[in-house]
A and B are shown apart, each in its own frame.
Chain A
Amino acid sequence: MKIKPYGDTSNDGKVQLSFTLPIKIGALGMEAAKQLGKQMGLIDPSVVSMEAIGENFSFYIVYGSVTHQIDLSLLKVAEITTPTFDKEAVEKLIADHFDRDLVFIGASTGTDAHTVGIDAIMNMKGYAGHYGLERYAGIKAYNLGSQVPNEVFIREAKRLHADVLLISQTVTQKDVHLKNMVELVELLEAEHMRNDVILVCGGARISHELAKELGYDAGFGPGKFAEDVASFAVLELIRKKNKTKK
């Protein structure tokens, strides 16, 4: 099946975009914005608004129709295929399969100072009505906070005998988060720990696909809560446990 963006009619291909050009506002800027739209593949780009930002910059809002279409049958996406259970079901799973508490440790690692993401998943209170891991029976959750160096994170993982490692990356610049996330995988491999833990990352711009690419077991983007992470991790731990039994 082939698709195009939907404005108000099937296949009209309508999109909106906005951007700033580093020139003074005027007819020249408007034409430049229009031409930019054309070069981006828009038919009939229309500059619906332009405003001056300071002296030497101008801001444009442009509408147009794209000629491109996407053939869905050709796409492949990595999606987490395990189901998400609610908190009680996760707790029951743990109780049924393990005779100990599972240890989750999490941190916003590297230079990232934001704790919003990791707090939403781990803290007692959770986020938007979804309780965090600290509140789960059968889970010992340790939130190490922000700006935790990879070395410290690994040391704590060892000390606490962590089953699941959660890495949060919120706001990053110039892709430092990627470098940092790869470094953690490398360090874990060097310590021969990689296969002993479930390694999960999360953040506003983290996708499952990206996570797999970087060597993580799963990645959780926006709109995911503690139960999504817990369900995945617990099911993986059960799978692993059964595998070693065999």
Chain B
Amino acid sequence: MWVLKVRMKMNKLNLDQNMIQDSRRLAKQIAIDVQKFIDQHTTVTVERTVCRLLGIDGVDSFDVPIPNLLVDDVQNNGDLSRGIALTIASALQATGKNLPDFISAYLLGTVKLCGHPYVSCDQVRQILDPYMQVTFAKIKENRDTRDAFLLAYPQPKTEIYVIVATGNIYEDIVQAKAAATAGADIIAVIRSTAQSLLDYVPYGITTEGFGGTYATQANFKLMRAALDEVSKTEKRYIKLVNYASGLCMPEIAAMAAIERLDVLLNDSMYGIIFRDINMQRTFVDQYFSRRINAYSGVVINTGEDNYLTTSDAFTQAHTVLASQFINEQFAYCAGLPSKLMGLGHAFEIDPEIENSFLYEIAQAQMCREIFPQAPLKYMPPTKHITGNIFRAYEQNALFNIATTMTDQSIHLLGMMTEAIHTPFLSDRYLAIQNAKMIKKSMKSFSDEVSYRPDGLICNRAKDVLRQAHELLEEIAQMSLFKALEQGVFADIKRSFTGGKGLTGVLEKHPDYQNPVLDYIEGVSHEN
């Protein structure tokens, strides 16, 4: 009975299964082509992440994070293309110090990091293994804690996701707790504007930011503790989200793993397209960050919804699907299972278009059927919100109905004050009430409806799939690098050597060492 129900639900649009399969094949070809490049390169943030996973944290007297100090030192005075692990292990061997003592001495200037004779590959592993095992044990413990929470409080089919963004972590906590009590299941702390462009992660507790709050490990810890408290009183596990995008993707992923975040924005191409970060840099960084997410059991959210804020949601719908196929394959390359792939899409068609709601249903249902295991992230209308808060509330209701009708997983609520200000406490509350009423009153709606095989909705979904397949064929032929140069996504063109962060990309030396990556690549976990 259950199987029958699922099958019915998953096949309302009668999509061409061969075309879906072939799209996956093309996307895989596209991803593997880039993966070859990834495997031959490392970046400064990848190496800083190695430091962090060895347990190196903190800042010097000028507030420079120690991982940055070390990596910059090796880049200037050593050979970073061999991996920072080799330099650190060699320095520990030569000085006879343990890692914490070495770092203390290094900060005092009594020992040097570079210039020591290199130890062997086996020695690197042997010397560093005890340090990284401490971190991995901590991450494993976090996974177990999360699993225990989810066992005690099973999660709903559709989770309500809201954002807090005050700039002050303590104020964020007040708002996050209020939102969770009102019914939110997932809380995202928006980052301070332009943090994605910093080539380091700020340190410590922060109470000032622009348009958001700095993502720091200390802020993560505070918010996690606050949400654990609400989780227990509400008897729902409240998930915490942050952003592993920008120039520090793997570092944020490492910090999130250590502080038990549950969801990370972690797209394979978002930084390239929307933050003008160099594509070589982003591809290498996203891989390591996703490897960490796979190990820590963090759900990734991809950013296809953003395409529709610059491109037209009606004519460019297929680019979203094509990108989802590609993001899925990159995620597989990094060991992420489907159930951790929160592929993104959005409700952004101009409501002035006749039947726009039907086209939204087509897209959302299609996405659901093509990625049945994925915890899809569905984004609310933002582009066609005018400042009329009452109209926005109506648009958000339509979006909430689409969410419920098509069984979306991560339901990012729209705010009626979108584009006016960062949400007031009451904006968030009203949005949650809106979503909850629709969710309750339409609970079994999706089980009750099917769509006319020759109707508008089925035909629209077929068209979008066909166009996405065509686009994937084109991309596979020219390579993803070329496709990005031609601006196939969001109408934005990015060059192979343009954008920010290229100087932080290095070709790996034949003797490149990264015991941390080797370990997580090798671990077969029970995702």
Stretch in A39-47, A86-94, A166-174, A232-240 touching the partner: A166-174
Q: Is B383 an interface residue (CB 8 A)?
A: yes
Determine, out of A4-12, A54-62, A155-163, A191-199, the stretch whose residues face the partner at the interface: A54-62
Contacts of A223 in B (CB 8 A): 386
Binary A-proximity of B402-439 (CB < 8 A = 1, otherwise 0): 00000000000000000111101110011001000000
- Collect the chain A residues with CB atoms within 8 Å of residue B309's CB: 115-116, 119
B360 at the binding interface (Cβ < 8 Å): no
B197-A54 in contact (CB<8A): no
Interface residues on B, range: 35 or more
Task: Tell me if A57 and B350 are in contact (CB < 8 A).
Answer: no
Check B310–A123 contact: CB distance below 8 A. Answer: yes
Query: Are A171 and B429 in contact, with the CB atoms below 8 A?
Result: no
Given contacts A123-B310, A145-B276, contact A113 B194 (CB under 8 A): yes
User: Nearest Cβ in chain B — how far from A176, in angstroms?
Assistant: 6
**Does A111 have its Cβ within 8 Å of any Cβ on chain B?**
yes
B491 lies within 8 A of A123 (CB): yes
Counting chain A residues whose Cβ lies within 8 A of the other chain, the interface size class is: 35 or more
Quick one: CB contact mask for B308-328 with A, threshold 8 Å, 1 for yes? 011110000000000000000
Is A112 located at the chain interface by the 8 A CB criterion?
A: yes
B181 lies within 8 A of chain A by Cβ? yes
Kindly state the separation between the CA atoms of A172 and B421 in the bound complex, as whole angstroms: 7
* Complex Cα gap A176–B424 (Å): 19
Q: Is A53 a contact of B178 with CB atoms below 8 Å?
A: yes
Residues of B within 8 A of A205 (CB): 420
Q: Does A26 contact B (CB under 8 A)?
A: no
CA distance A57 to B181 in the complex (A): 11
Q: Which of B182, B193, B419 contacts A204 (CB 8 A)?
A: B419
Determine if B382 and A116 form an interchain contact, defined as CB atoms under 8 angstroms apart: yes
Main secondary structure of the interface of B (DSSP, over half): loop
- Picked from B167, B194, B352, the residue with its CB within 8 Å of the CB of A173 is B167
Do A20 and B210 touch (CB < 8 A)? no
In this complex, what residue of B is CB-closest to A20? B426
Contacts of B275 in A (CB 8 A): 147
Query: Chain A residues with Cβ under 8 A from B429's Cβ?
Result: 20, 51, 53-54, 59
Cβ-defined partner of A171 (8 Å) among B419, B425, B430, B491: B419
Whether, in the assembled complex, B211 has its beta carbon less than 8 Å from a beta carbon of chain A, the answer is yes
Nearest A residue to B386 via CB reads: A222
A residues less than 8 Å from B193 (CB atoms): 111-113, 147
**Binary per-residue interface labels of chain B (490-508) against chain A in the complex, 1 for a CB within 8 Å, 0 otherwise:** 0110000000000000000
Residues of A within 8 A of B312 (CB): 125
Report if A128 contacts B (CB, 8 A). Answer: yes
| Residues in chain A near residue B424, CB distance under 8 A | 20
Are A171 and B383 in contact, CB atoms less than 8 angstroms apart? no
For the complex with contacts A113-B193, A170-B419, 12 further pairs of A-B residues with Cβ separation under 8 Å are A19-B426, A53-B182, A53-B429, A54-B429, A55-B177, A59-B426, A112-B193, A116-B419, A171-B421, A204-B420, A205-B420, A222-B387
Binding site for B on A (CB under 8 A): 18-20, 51, 53-57, 59, 111-116, 119, 123-125, 128-129, 145-147, 170-174, 176, 204-205, 222-223
Residues of B at the A interface (CB closer than 8 Å) are: 167, 177-179, 181-182, 193-194, 197, 210-211, 274-276, 309-312, 350, 352, 382-384, 386-387, 419-422, 424-426, 429-430, 433, 491-492
23 contacts between A and B (CB under 8 A): A18-B426, A20-B429, A55-B178, A57-B425, A113-B211, A115-B310, A116-B383, A116-B419, A119-B309, A124-B491, A128-B350, A128-B352, A128-B384, A145-B276, A146-B274, A170-B419, A171-B421, A173-B167, A173-B211, A173-B422, A174-B210, A222-B386, A222-B387
